Chain A
């Protein structure tokens, strides 16, 4: 059975999204991305140096990747929108990961500003992937205003603490008709596998790979973990509701089954 994730019209085989921040060198970024088997890579537009090819991180990203510029550094919807437009004008494509963060202590996303920015950018034709605190009503609003996926955090950025928001993410998986990509907090391959077993559509991993002693090996480990988690989900582990099966073995007699 083919199991594909489609976002913004792009078919993805790998459900591991990777990042480019926090790496010890740009060369390591390239090697790691190749090893990760990933197809989508996020990068902070604030760090992209268009005037300086040697410093420009984009030149270290293999060609077969879909670029997912993020709006890291933006504090408000307005700043998000401006960064997104700069990214597009600079040739980074029309995918955008919204990060609207006005809390530098925990780096928690501002859901309100995120909704506003998503609405504006979706209307402008961007494929918008908003990074949010997992909240059902917020995710519903994002769905309404045209987000292409929802990226809830598992734990605060860079904390490596795993799926601390598991119950809330589970609700999003059940209720939202968009791909759910768990972003932030995933510290180990087993965390990624757990998210995938639950039925998440993909995970984004940056810190755990970038700051590992051997980022290349760690990227491979995440690739396998994400695949294993997905297969487990497809194999039936992912049944979140433990009631309402189609064939009603306990009450079928009432309907003459």
Chain B
């Protein structure tokens, strides 16, 4: 099985004629439904549905509170290394960008862990650039072993791996996998991934499924918004989440909605995803997939994050550094600039003021 079959089934839908035919009545019908089907989801992503954002928001809010409660999970990313062998047109870590690369020693990993732990964070996402040479599975595993002493839940956001490798990491204490497809549109995927192993679309597309098979407790996926028409990309990612949820019921599936951010490179997005679009995507996701988590990173501004909060968000990063060794020491080169620079304490305060409970721990290492 593979989501690729599903993708092939829907990739050639004539999205523009579909959207052209959607009426206000169609949107209202979908809003009145309890369970949404694929076409309903697409209706919610249509230009016509953008006139119904308030109605969608009301419903999304209700569903979110009902399913997740008035709580927001907080996490922090930890960059272990920024060596990368790929050339991705949109990323500052690209092999073509000349800057001094580095990689944490195991001692430094521990220093970072302590610095993060001091913020009260228990939920960690471990990242590396894509380099099997500099960050082999064994290195990630050694780091995880140290990190499990400090954190109750650890996810990885690294290069796609084989099922066996994921299994090894699960055994070492990893319980979550984040892997973004970046571009679901296969042709655009090929264009923006200029050289390197990341060019292999299928291997990346099937990685979340391999993670589920390897026993990851939670798998987080998403498109990198801005590489192609967001309505299509959001649709494919939503179907992907739905596919995983239906086929791997014991894995918690969540979606992220990263938008392209300024970075150390020259790529300019040709498909602008403005705030309105971001809101519509979040709402459509929540209505289509009421039990799927939705996380929001510090890529987004503080003001926007505050306002997106009640719409369907279940998870946020806080006080993130996207530089290798950025917590314990001074910052190096960042993968991208973050927008929301508030501290964990500030975010906590904000959540409480907004009537949300910040949750730092949501899993117990067994």
Measured CB to CB, the residues of A under 8 A from B are: 21-26, 45-49, 52, 55, 73, 75, 79, 82-83, 86, 102-107, 158-160, 207, 210-211
Contact = CB atoms under 8 A, between A and B. Distances in A.
B186 interface: no
By Cβ-Cβ distance, the 6 closest A-B pairs, closest first, are A22-B69, A102-B250, A24-B70, A103-B249, A49-B361, A82-B366
Contact of A104 (B249, B355, B356): B249
A79 B364 CA distance: 10
A45 B360 CA distance: 13
Contact of B68 (A22, A26, A79): A22
B58 interface: no
Contacts of B362: 46-47, 73
Nearest to B359: A47
B165 to A, nearest CB: 22
Interface in B57-79: 65-71
Interface of B: 65-71, 120, 122, 152, 217, 245-246, 249-253, 291, 352, 355-357, 359-364, 366
Contacts, number: 80
Nearest to B352: A25
A70 to B, nearest CB: 12
A207 B69 CA distance: 7
B58 to A, nearest CB: 15
Contacts of A158: 66-67
Nearest to A86: B364
Contacts of B245: 104-105
A207 B66 contact: yes
Contact of B249 (A21, A22, A105, A210): A105
A107 B122 CA distance: 25
Given A25-B352, A55-B120, A103 B68 contact: no
B246 A55 contact: no
A23 B245 CA distance: 26
Contacts of B357: 23-26
A46 B364 contact: yes
Nearest to A75: B250
12 contacts: A21-B69, A22-B68, A24-B70, A25-B357, A46-B361, A49-B152, A49-B360, A52-B360, A55-B360, A103-B249, A104-B251, A105-B246
Contacts of B366: 79, 82-83, 86
Contacts of A83: 364, 366
Contacts of A21: 69, 71
A99 to B, nearest CB: 13
B120 A52 contact: yes
Contacts of B364: 45-46, 48, 73, 83, 86
A253 to B, nearest CB: 56
Contacts of A211: 65-66, 69-70
A187 B122 CA distance: 32
A41 to B, nearest CB: 15
Nearest to B365: A86
B154 to A, nearest CB: 14
B361 A103 contact: no
Residue among B122, B251, B253, B357 with max Cβ neighbours from chain A (10 Å): B357
A103 B291 CA distance: 11
Contacts of A103: 249-250
B70 to A, nearest CB: 4
Nearest to B68: A22
A133 to B, nearest CB: 15
A213 B223 CA distance: 35
A22 B314 CA distance: 11
B70 A55 contact: no
Contacts of A55: 120, 360-361
Given A26-B357, A106-B291, 15 more contacts: A21-B71, A22-B70, A23-B69, A24-B356, A47-B359, A48-B364, A83-B364, A86-B364, A102-B250, A104-B249, A105-B246, A105-B291, A160-B66, A207-B66, A210-B70
